[in-house]
Amino acid sequence: MTLRELAERLHCRLDGDAAIEVTRVTGIEHAGPGDLTFIANPKYHGFLETTRAAAVLVTPGVPRPANGPALLVCDRPYLAFAQALGLLVQASLPEPGIDPTSVVAADAQVGSGVSIGALAVVGAGARIGDRTVLFPGVVVGPGAVVGADCVIHARVSVRERVRIGDRVVVQDGAVIGSDGFGFARQQDGTHLKIPQHADVVIEDDVEIGANTTIDRPAVGETRIHRGAKIDNLVQVAHGVTIGQRTLLAAQVGVAGSTVIEDDVTLAGQVGVAGHLRIGKGVIATAQTGIPNSVDPGTLISGYPAIPNRDWLKSSAVFRNLPALKKRVVELERRLAELEEKLHACPPSSEG
Amino acid sequence: MTLRELAERLHCRLDGDAAIEVTRVTGIEHAGPGDLTFIANPKYHGFLETTRAAAVLVTPGVPRPANGPALLVCDRPYLAFAQALGLLVQASLPEPGIDPTSVVAADAQVGSGVSIGALAVVGAGARIGDRTVLFPGVVVGPGAVVGADCVIHARVSVRERVRIGDRVVVQDGAVIGSDGFGFARQQDGTHLKIPQHADVVIEDDVEIGANTTIDRPAVGETRIHRGAKIDNLVQVAHGVTIGQRTLLAAQVGVAGSTVIEDDVTLAGQVGVAGHLRIGKGVIATAQTGIPNSVDPGTLISGYPAIPNRDWLKSSAVFRNLPALKKRVVELERRLAELEEKLHACPPSSEG
Amino acid sequence: MTLRELAERLHCRLDGDAAIEVTRVTGIEHAGPGDLTFIANPKYHGFLETTRAAAVLVTPGVPRPANGPALLVCDRPYLAFAQALGLLVQASLPEPGIDPTSVVAADAQVGSGVSIGALAVVGAGARIGDRTVLFPGVVVGPGAVVGADCVIHARVSVRERVRIGDRVVVQDGAVIGSDGFGFARQQDGTHLKIPQHADVVIEDDVEIGANTTIDRPAVGETRIHRGAKIDNLVQVAHGVTIGQRTLLAAQVGVAGSTVIEDDVTLAGQVGVAGHLRIGKGVIATAQTGIPNSVDPGTLISGYPAIPNRDWLKSSAVFRNLPALKKRVVELERRLAELEEKLHACPPSSEG
């Protein structure tokens, strides 16, 4: 693709030779001739002098070095970079068709243009929407619904009656609709399993990471709202709601019945207790442990979670706690000395 | 089912119309006509005034509102709720039979009434007990034993020679009997793999969550005792023992050779170091990090773990550490001032 | 195997009857006649008096009790124990051959002596090296390369174009080459998926644990260097580099683009933020949260991570923070009293 065409498609202003051909998108350190790359962070502007890239996506106002690469100027270089990848990288989705080694129930409804890979299983009464791809080894349970234009990677479990919207991407090994962890303690101390047969709904445009698990509840539903993105090895317990556009990074765990509202970001390994409400736009930094509901718009950290600002300050004191303790001990010594002295000082000697 | 029949089966006292038909069990907020629900927590008693449920499971002494739902009165409403779900919800286990696309070794022993799903694999010499269900894509290794009345969900790995008892439930994608993480460092700094070929035993009535991993050791055994329940994405390392009725919530990790005794509860994301003993009845709150053995009956929290009571108090001080530090600085200032003053004060002026 | 032969093979000095036959390797507590065991830690020397083992691997200088077991003396008993397991335990790898139920693309290249298990899938243009074993249900994507002498356990995903070296072991359910978690926020707040189609390279002699996930990046590569060992349920994000011989224990998470250098050890549940460099030989204890780059050779702990020594001291103060606070309050009270007293004391009474 020429830079002229690329600039048009990405809505960028071009500073450089419009005829140059770009064939690959890559990181600025590895870029060579024919490569497009990007700089979103001003601290990397120095790379413009040295990169061998054909063109670089930058924000307005960045000067183009003499003999430097062509510049594609736009407000959001990272977003344009993502779009450029979509234009230049060949997605390698399999051709439509039902592999003869797959096992599709006679009464399953399979849309047009669907690809069902080798050894995939589609259960009785399940529905697979148009143009959706099931990779090898996927198991779709009886009565489950997968929408249109989904990509379900190898060896995913979509359990019975789970409902998945359109344009949903699920990475390998994820499990959607496993039994929630629900038991009632009996008088002899043993645990009676509470049957977990209620609903799981994955709305449109959700992405679910590799080996992530999303449980179904006993009653009510587990719901991942439209446009939420969930990374690998995340645990979403029974009855949880994940809001629109919310991001859950890898190894996050959300306990039962908690509601995560829209536009929340939980960084890696964050844990959220059950029956809470995490307000719209909350951001929790990595490993935060959240035992209580959180007001919208809060930035939190720590275990247990507190406002990030407080946590940073407290953590700074924490690392010097032994010194602080010594200062207290020293104060006690000096104060005792003073008290001793003052005891000798005549309290009633009026001036 | 009529309320009369339900009351009898759940051993509840009925306050209301015995002829009412109940068809579904649900949460109190979503309940409508024909629904049974429950209130285990007094703070939800207000819902009795507004719910449209046909009947509600409650503890003794809760007054029935005029025109309110029928009450089913019992000591443990949550347990009765679990039992009601068992009565009213149709479990959807597949019919007995061996799917023609499954691959069952000629010398495997398959009991009566067993269901082996599409594309499941049963290795040489393996045994599957009566009425057990293997869902699609399950792989049972050579010489493994799965007891009677088990439910092994899709794409579970039961590795070679693993022994599983009766009535065990395993959720999708779990791995039982993978190699423990055991290496011996050699003089050149590389790691020699220690072969991990010893035993894994899962006793009766255990439940194992989705994508959970249970490793086998080099010598000795890994054992999950009767009635233990393990949630999703839990790591049980080689040589670990999990006690009877112990509960491990999602994303818990237990390192090698540690013994967790009976009736322990580890909440989500708890980590336990290796070669420890966690005493009977210990409870660790979410994200607790346990570096040492713990006495029976202790409630612990924190990283590193300390008694919960202490942790709560210390955490409360932690969030105000900067203020505490300021107070120490202020004390130092005032004390220095005082020392200065007192230096001026004649110490020897006897009264 | 006789003790004479074993001593020769393990390069140990034998103190005992060279003709004794050893058939099994086990832990010292469970050892019986015919068993070889080991003591690496001096605190277990007492077991020498009571064990029924035929022979024990020990360090030089350990006295052999009268009527005690034979001793095999060497500098590294644990390493010798690992080697002895390799000699005495029968590895149970399946015979070479391609199972007729597997689905191998016509143009895939399969080396000599390869074993492809039931219902495994090998995609178009993929290559499987000599003597490698694919267990049942493995899915190797189009264009992927698996080297020689690898053992890929059941239901592993090796995604398209992933490159795996020789002698690599992958435990069940692991996913190699899933899409990295990369999105660009658009002006309407939704997230545009950044296509993740770049490379994943697993070098020789790497081990990857059960249900671990290793993502591929948008540009550049994710690389696990030679001899690294990764435990179960670990997350390795897109663009991460893991150094040679580095050990990642279970449930570790490493965020995008971070470089972990050689010989690093991250204990269980450690989290590492993105775009960092963790220096050669760093050790992080369990649950450490690492927000910044770490100098080589450092031993760190805590959340956020600080030097282990400091963390231990600060943690010791932390558990007594309420008492420390009380001491500050008491100091304030006494100081106020003193100030009061001193106010009464004539400041200007010169001596």
CA distance A200 to A159: 9
pLDDT number for residue B346: 58
Q: What are residue A222's DSSP bridge partners? A: A200
Q: Are residues B222 and B253 in the same domain?
A: yes
CB-based contact C233 B237, cutoff 8 Å: no
C238 is catalytic: yes
Q: Contacts of residue B197 in chain C, CB cutoff 8 Å?
A: 85, 89-92
Q: Does B192 touch chain C (CB under 8 A)?
A: yes
Q: Are residues C289 and C210 in the same domain?
A: yes
pLDDT at B181 over 60: yes
Q: Are residues A160 and A215 in the same domain?
A: yes
- Which of B34, B69, B88 represents a domain boundary (last residue)? B88
Per DSSP, B194 falls in state: P
Q: Are residues B53 and B194 in the same domain?
A: no
CA distance C177 to B93: 34
Q: Are residues A260 and A114 in the same domain?
A: yes
Band of the pLDDT at A350, cuts 50, 70, 90? very low
pLDDT at A342 over 90: no
Q: Which of C179, C186, C291 sits opposite A171 (nearest CB)?
A: C179
Q: Are residues B37 and B126 in the same domain?
A: no
pLDDT number for residue A225: 98
Q: Are residues A77 and A151 in the same domain?
A: no
Q: How many C-beta atoms lie closer than 10 Å to residue C340's C-beta?
A: 9
Nearest to B121 by CA among B98, B140, B95, B108: B140
CA distance A121 to A103: 5
At a CB cut-off of 8 Å and minimum separation 6, what does A273 contact?
Answer: A255, A258, A290, A291, A292, B268, B286
CA distance C53 to C38: 10
CB-based contact C232 B181, cutoff 8 Å: yes
Q: Does C102 touch chain B (CB under 8 A)?
A: no
CB-based contact C30 B183, cutoff 8 Å: no
Q: How many domains does chain C have?
A: 2
Nearest to B6 by CA among B40, B47, B41, B35: B35
Q: Does C289 touch chain B (CB under 8 A)?
A: no
Pull the structure tokens for residue A221.
């539903």
CA distance B250 to B266: 9
pTM equals 0.95
Task: Flag whether C28 is in a domain.
Answer: yes
Nearest to C295 by CA among C279, C284, C308: C279
| Contact between residue C268 and residue C249 where contact means Cβ atoms under 8 Å apart | yes
Q: Can you tell me the mean pLDDT for C168-182?
A: 98
Q: Can you tell me the mean pLDDT for B304-333?
A: 97
pLDDT number for residue B349: 47
CA distance B109 to B308: 50
| Contact between residue C324 and residue A325 where contact means Cβ atoms under 8 Å apart | yes
Which long-range contacts does C292-298 make (Cβ < 8 Å, 24+ apart)? C296/C261
CB-based contact C27 B233, cutoff 8 Å: no
Query: What is the three-class DSSP state of B165?
Result: coil
Q: What are residue A97's DSSP bridge partners? A: A115
Which long-range contacts does B337-340 make (Cβ < 8 Å, 24+ apart)? B338/A338, B338/C335, B338/C338, B338/C339, B338/C342, B339/A334, B339/A338
Q: Are residues A117 and A23 in the same domain?
A: no
Pull the structure tokens for residue A44.
């990397």
Pull the structure tokens for residue B33.
């006509």
Task: Flag whether B318 is in a domain.
Answer: no
Q: Does A89 touch chain C (CB under 8 A)?
A: yes
Higher pLDDT among residues B350 and A318, named by residue? A318
Please, what is the average pLDDT of chain A? 94
What digits encode the pLDDT tens for the residues C27-41?
Answer: 887 888 999 999 988
- Whether ipTM > 0.85 holds is yes
A321-330, B275-284, C342-351: segment of lowest average pLDDT: C342-351
pLDDT number for residue B27: 84
pLDDT at B329 over 70: yes
CA distance C294 to C266: 12
Q: How far is C189 from chain B (nearest CA, A)?
A: 30
- Which of C88, C106, C126 represents a domain boundary (last residue)? C88
Q: What percent of chain B has pLDDT over 70?
A: 98
Task: Flag whether B323 is in a domain.
Answer: no
Q: Are residues B66 and B139 in the same domain?
A: no
Q: Can you tell me the mean pLDDT for C321-326?
A: 97
Nearest to B83 by CA among A192, A157, C225: A192
Residue C325's identity, in one-letter code, is K
Q: Which of A118, A251, A331 sits opposite C253 (nearest CB)?
A: A251
Q: What are residue C13's DSSP bridge partners? A: C73
pLDDT number for residue B43: 83
Task: Flag whether B24 is in a domain.
Answer: yes
| Contact between residue B124 and residue B38 where contact means Cβ atoms under 8 Å apart | no
pLDDT at A118 over 60: yes
CA distance C108 to C128: 8
| Contact between residue B149 and residue B165 where contact means Cβ atoms under 8 Å apart | no
Q: Contacts of residue B348 in chain A, CB cutoff 8 Å?
A: 344
Nearest to A307 by CA among A287, A286, A278, A285: A285
Q: Find which of B175, B208, B233, B252 to mutate to test the C interface (most C CBs within 10 Å of its CB).
A: B175
Can you give the CATH number for the domain in which A192 is found? Answer: 2.160.10.10
Q: How far is CA C346 from CA A240, A335, B197, B349, in A?
A: 70, 20, 85, 11
Q: Contacts of residue C345 in chain A, CB cutoff 8 Å?
A: 342, 345-347, 349
Can you give the CATH number for the domain in which B24 is found? Answer: 3.40.1390.10
Q: What percent of chain C has pLDDT over 70?
A: 97
Task: Flag whether C181 is in a domain.
Answer: yes
Higher pLDDT among residues A42 and C319, named by residue? C319
Q: Does A286 touch chain B (CB under 8 A)?
A: no
Q: How far is CA A324 from CA B320, B325, C240, in A?
A: 14, 7, 39
| Contact between residue B25 and residue B84 where contact means Cβ atoms under 8 Å apart | yes
CB-based contact C86 B195, cutoff 8 Å: yes
A32-46, A93-107, C184-198: segment of lowest average pLDDT: A32-46
Query: What is the three-class DSSP state of B50?
Result: helix
What digits encode the pLDDT tens for the residues B52-108?
Answer: 999 999 999 998 988 889 999 999 998 999 999 988 887 778 999 999 999 999 999
CA distance C333 to B252: 46
Kindly provide the b/e burial profile for residues A306-318, where b requires at least 16 CB atoms within 10 angstroms of the residue's own CB.
bebebbebbbebb
pLDDT at B141 over 50: yes
CB-based contact A232 C235, cutoff 8 Å: yes
At a CB cut-off of 8 Å and minimum separation 6, what does B61 contact?
Answer: none
CB-based contact A229 C334, cutoff 8 Å: no
Tell me which chains share at least 3 CB pairs under 8 Å with chain B: A, C
CA distance B120 to C154: 12
Cα–chain-centroid distance for residue C294? 19
Range of the domain at B300: 97-309
Q: Contacts of residue B121 in chain A, CB cutoff 8 Å?
A: none
Catalytic residue among C225, C238, C275, C343: C238
pLDDT at B314 over 90: yes
- Range 223-252 of C in CB contact (< 8 A) with A: 233, 235, 237, 251
Instruction: Write down how long chain B is.
Output: 351
- Range 24-63 of A in CB contact (< 8 A) with C: 25-27, 29-30, 37
Task: Flag whether B182 is in a domain.
Answer: yes
Q: Contacts of residue B99 in chain A, CB cutoff 8 Å?
A: 103
Q: Are residues B117 and B211 in the same domain?
A: yes
The 3 state secondary structure assigned to chain C is CEHHHHHHHHCCEEECCCCCECCEECCCCCCCCCEEEECCCHHHCCHHHHCCCCEEEECCCCCCCCCCCEEEECCCHHHHHHHHHHHHCCCCCCCCEECCCCEECCCCEECCCCEECCCCEECCCCEECCCCEECCCCEECCCCEECCCCEECCCCEECCCCEECCCCEECCCCEEEEECCCEEECCCCCEEECCCCCEEEECCCCEECCCCEEEECCCCEEEECCCCEECCCCEECCCCEECCCCEECCCCEECCCCEECCCCEECCCCEECCCCEECCCCEECCCCEECCCECCCCEEECCCCEEHHHHHHHHHHHCCHHHHHHHHHHHHHHHHHHHHHHHHCCCCCCC
What digits encode the pLDDT tens for the residues B197-219?
Answer: 999 999 999 999 999 999 999 99
Nearest to C333 by CA among A141, B259, A332: A332
Task: Flag whether C330 is in a domain.
Answer: no
To which residue do tokens 């009529």 refer?
A: B2
Q: Are residues A82 and A107 in the same domain?
A: no
Q: Are residues A243 and A141 in the same domain?
A: yes
Omega before A307 within 30 of 0, i.e. cis = no
pLDDT at A349 over 50: no
> Residue A218 class from Cβ within 10 Å (0-12 exposed, 13-18 middle, 19+ buried)?
buried
CB-based contact C268 B235, cutoff 8 Å: yes
Task: Flag whether A223 is in a domain.
Answer: yes
- Which of A58, A88, A118 represents a domain boundary (last residue)? A88
Q: Does B312 touch chain C (CB under 8 A)?
A: no
To which residue do tokens 């004539």 refer?
A: C346
Higher pLDDT among residues A99 and B351, named by residue? A99
Q: Does C218 touch chain A (CB under 8 A)?
A: yes
Q: Does A200 touch chain B (CB under 8 A)?
A: no
What digits encode the pLDDT tens for the residues A231-288?
Answer: 999 999 999 999 999 999 999 999 999 999 999 999 999 999 999 999 999 999 999 9
Q: How far is C279 from chain A (nearest CA, A)?
A: 21
